[in-house]
Structure 1
Amino acid sequence: MIRHILVAVSASTNDALLKTAIDKARDTGARLTAVYVVDTMPRWAMMGVEHGCIDTPQMVHELERIVERRCSDTFECEAWDIQTRAITVPLQSRSVGREIANLAVQLDADLIVVGAGRASKWRFWEERMSDVIGRCTRRTVLIAMGTQPSGRAHDCAMARADARRAGAAHAKAV
């Protein structure tokens, strides 16, 4: 039985991962937590500071706020009937996968939803994030593919979203 779902989001603007997690949470009646692991001092930010771009760390913090706001907006529009929250966590271990695995243990998540990611041919020694999470925890890992709905399913989803917005506007007016 799935009671808590942890979804690992990235800075990508594709919401297919979040929508997959929302659908799974709605089907199982589980709580949903979206987590964004933030590397507070990435290599590219430090190189920018060395070359005179002192506002690069501020850009990292702005990206963090944008991702958290995007998750909250998606939850407000799509997951209004599910208990949700969006959090950001600083990167403290060596990899993002290990950080997500540690957080899944702390939050007692039953299912972890991650994106498919992109394989790199020149970094063949690196493990996929889903493999790292599966190895570090004994939780189920769901790999969500990044496809957007099309056709009738997309039209129905848009109609539901419009109806929710209209209902929310009517409730505020009353």
Structure 2
Amino acid sequence: MYKHILVAVGTHPDSITLEAAIRLARETGARVTALHVVDPVPPYAGAATCDFSVTLDAFEAYGHAVAERCVAALHQAGCDGDARTIMLPMCGSTMGRAIADHARAIGADLLVIGNRKPSLWSLFRENLYKEVLRHTDVPVLVATDALPAASGRALALRPRYAETAGA
């Protein structure tokens, strides 16, 4: 069914998205690529608040730690795969576009992303799901722990055409 799954992972060690991708990879024999995207200039940070060289070094080190954690989880689960960290350019791209572009570059046939719980910070963040859908023609699986399921977690496959322009 699926041959290559790209999973967008965040900074939380108990990654629901990685867990979902591993479960699908076991069922289908797919290869998994875990991708951590670093935004060096989050929208809530002003230029005066950052020493960019120190910040970039810290982001890079943390991104490598996230990638190592993902590789360890993949190997522990017995899945074929790897993990990568990419940094967005200072301007001209979004996380959603970077994920979609990377999926296209590696030939992924399924994207797995998470669903963030709404918060005050949601005003400053892009809607990752909608942004990924704008830039990909690959099916997107949204992994969430907010939906009831027997295991306490649910998966929702959202096809590209599920979103309308007015939504």
- TM bin, normalised by shorter chain, reads 0.7 to 0.9
Partner of 1:48: 50
Q: Taking structure 2 as the reference length, what is the TM-score of the superposition? A: 0.73
Unaligned runs of 5+ in 1: 154-174
Deviation at 1:120, TM superposition (A): 4.4
Rounded Cα–Cα distance in structure 1 between residues aligned with 2:140 and 2:3:
14
SS at match of 1:12: coil
Q: Is this contact kept in 1: 2:114–2:144, CA < 8 A? A: yes
C-alpha RMSD of the superposition: 2.9
Q: Is this contact kept in 2: 1:115–1:146, CA < 8 A? A: no
Partner of 2:82: 85
Aligned CA distance change for structure 1 residues 123 and 114 (closer, same or farther; 3 Å): closer
Q: Is this contact kept in 2: 1:32–1:83, CA < 8 A? A: yes
Question: Alpha-carbon deviations, 1:35-86, whole Å to 9, x = none?
Answer: 0112245564952328xxx7433321221121111111111212x2x21110
One-letter identity of the residue aligned with 2:17:
L
**Which 4+ runs in 1 deviate beyond 4 A?**
41-46, 120-127
Question: Alpha-carbon deviations, 1:123-153, whole Å to 9, x = none?
Answer: 6696521121122111100000137xxx9x7
Unaligned runs of 5+ in 2: 152-167
Partner of 1:66: 65
Rounded Cα–Cα distance in structure 1 between residues aligned with 2:42 and 2:99:
18
Q: Which moved more, 1:104-113 or 1:58-67?
A: 58-67
Q: Is this contact kept in 1: 2:110–2:139, CA < 8 A? A: yes
Q: Percent identity?
A: 33
Greater per-residue helix proportion: 1
Q: Taking structure 1 as the reference length, what is the TM-score of the superposition? A: 0.71
Question: Alpha-carbon deviations, 1:79-102, whole Å to 9, x = none?
Answer: x2x211101112134210010011
User: Which has the larger Rg?
Assistant: 1
Partner of 1:31: 31
Rounded Cα–Cα distance in structure 1 between residues aligned with 2:28 and 2:3:
8
Aligned length: 145
Rounded Cα–Cα distance in structure 1 between residues aligned with 2:5 and 2:86:
16
